[in-house]
Chains A and B, each alone.
Chain A
Amino acid sequence: MQGSRAAQFELYKLYAKAMYNVALRILNYEEEAEDVLQEAFLDAFTRIVDFRQETTFGLWLKQIVINKSINYLRKRKMEFVSTDELSEVPDEDSFDDSEVRLQADEIRTAITELPDGYRVVLSLYLLEGYDHEEIAHILKISENTSRTQYMRAKKKLKSILEQKGMRDE
C-alpha cells in the first residue's frame, strides 16, 4: 500500500483541476468546491477496491464529485425546480446568439451569474456532457424539467451575455 501514495498523487495531479472546475461550476463557491474535491479524492482512494473497470477512473471520480456537490447544494436548501417556473416553455430558437461574441471567459463568468437551478442543469448538460435523462437521474427531477430548465438557462445566459456586450461597447 505504501507505494500507492505516489500513484495517488499522480491521479490527483491528473484530475484535480478538471474536478475542481466541475465542483466550482455547480457550487459557485471556491471553499465548498475545495471541500468537495478533498472529500471526493479521499472517497475515491479509500473505495478504490469498489471501482470496477466498466468506466474510466476519471468518469467515476467525476460522478463522486458531482454527487457530493449536489449534496452540498441541497444542504443550502436549494430546489432544482420551482413549480411556478414551469408555466411556459421557451422555444428552442430563442437563443439567437449570432450577434453575441462567443468568448469562453465571458460565457464562463456569465454562467456563474445564473441562478443555482439554471447553472447546475446548464453546466451538467453543456460542460459535463450529460444528457437530460442522466441529469434527471442525478438531480431527481423529470427529464422534461431538465430540458425546460436548460432552455431557460440558455435564454438567461444569452441575456447576460448581451448586457455585457453592451457594457463593453
Chain B
Amino acid sequence: MNNRLETFVKENRKAFDVMEPSAGLWAKIEQELDNKKKKKPVKLYLWMSAAAAIAVVFGLAWLYVGKLQNKDLEIADVSASYAKKEVHFAGLITEKRDSLAIFAAANPELYKKFTADLKKLDEDYERLKAELPTSPNQTFVVKAMVKNREIQLQLLKQQLLIINQVDDYKRVNQI
C-alpha cells in the first residue's frame, strides 16, 4: 500500500489552507445579520397576534359548543346503557305508531283518543329531557325518561290490541 500522499497531506495539512476570503466579506455578513434582526421582531409580532386571534376564535367556539351541548344533554351523556335501552324503545314505538296509524282511517275517534294519551306521555318525556341538564340527579331523570318510553310502548301495545279487536268486531258485524 502506498500512502505517501495521504501521510504527506496529514503532516502538512495547514499548508493546504492558504487562500483567503476577501476582506469585505464579514461586513456583508454583518449587514445581512442586521437585516434579519430588523425583520425578525415584526415577524414575531405578526405570528404572535395571529396565534392569539386563533386562540380567541377557538376559545369562543369551544365555549359556544359547550353551552349548546349543555342545553341539549342527551341520555347517552349520562348513561350509555340507558341510552341503548331508550333507542331500542324509541325504535319500537315508531314502529307501533305506524301500525296504529293504519287503523286510523277506519277508527278515527279511537285513534284520536289513543294519540291524546300518547301525547301526554310525550309531553312528560320532553319535560324530563328539558330538566336533565340542570337536574342534580341526572341518572334519576334518565331512568324516568326510559321508563316513560317503556310505558309508551306498553300503552301502544295495548292500543294496538284493542284497535285490532275493534276492527275484527266491526268486520264480523259487517258480514
Q: Which residues of A contact B (CB under 8 A)?
A: 1, 5, 8-9, 12, 16-18, 20-21, 24, 30, 33-34, 37-38, 41-42, 45-46, 92-93, 95-98, 102, 104-105, 107-108, 126-127, 154, 157
Contacts and interface: CB of A to CB of B under 8 A. Distances in A.
A17 B5 contact: no
Contact of B25 (A21, A38, A92): A38
Given A1-B37, A5-B30, A38-B28, A95 B21 contact: no
B33 A8 contact: yes
B2 A127 contact: no
B15 interface: yes
- Which range contains the number of B residues in contact with the other chain? 20 to 34
A34 B9 contact: no
A104 B12 contact: yes
A154 B4 CA distance: 11
Contacts of A17: 17, 19-21
A74 B19 CA distance: 23
B102 interface: no
A38 B33 CA distance: 11
Main secondary structure of the interface of B (DSSP, over half): helix
Contacts of A108: 15-16, 18
B169 interface: no
A126 B7 CA distance: 9
A92 B2 contact: yes
Given A9-B26, A97-B5, A104-B12, A46 B21 contact: no
19 contacts: A1-B37, A8-B33, A16-B21, A16-B26, A18-B17, A21-B18, A34-B22, A34-B25, A37-B21, A42-B33, A92-B2, A97-B2, A98-B4, A102-B8, A104-B16, A107-B5, A107-B8, A108-B15, A108-B16
A18 B95 CA distance: 87
A85 to B, nearest CB: 21
B12 to A, nearest CB: 5
Contacts of B105: none
B38 interface: no
Contacts of A154: 5
Nearest to A18: B17
A37 B21 CA distance: 9
Contacts of B12: 104
Top 6 nearest A-B pairs by Cβ distance? A104-B15, A21-B17, A20-B21, A102-B8, A104-B12, A41-B29
